[in-house]
Amino acid sequence: MAQILIIDDDELFRSMLSATLAHLGHTVVEAVNGGEGLKLFQRVQPDLIITDLVMPEMEGFEVLMNIKKHNPRAKIVVMSGGVGAQTVDFLEIAKHLGASGVLAKPFSTDALIKAIDALL
């Protein structure tokens, strides 16, 4: 199974996502913001990163660009739960910046598993 880094400022969502991935057999490392996520990425070198886009301190776009700059082959799934068309626009921008996959919140466990399986 894979080592997965989750970066999300929403503690409840992050915990539920972490528990789901751990239940599937993955090792999970959690970060509460983009800055902490970048530090963990450098230290842990996870197989996959799942990051929210809208966070305080450092947005997911900045996380995505920093990780891709240091490791262009990094596998990153970007999530966003904005409003309607704005979410779609944000996720499309993330794809253009190098996201390996995108998920619009809320998403099903099946959608999560499909996105992870496609990358690992």
CATH number of the 3-47+61-86+100-119 domain: 3.40.50.2300
User: pLDDT digits over 47-62, tens only?
Assistant: 999 999 989 889 999 9
pLDDT > 70: what percent of the chain? 94
What is the structure's pLDDT at 88?
Answer: 67
Position 107 confidence tier, pLDDT thresholds 50, 70, 90: very high
User: pLDDT digits over 77-103, tens only?
Assistant: 999 876 555 666 889 999 999 999 999
Element (H, E) at 113: helix 109-119
- HEC assignment per residue over 45-106: CCCEEEEECCCCCCCHHHHHHHHHHHCCCCCEEEEECCCCHHHHHHHHHHHHCCCCEEEECC
Partnered with residue 78 across adjacent β-strands are 51, 102
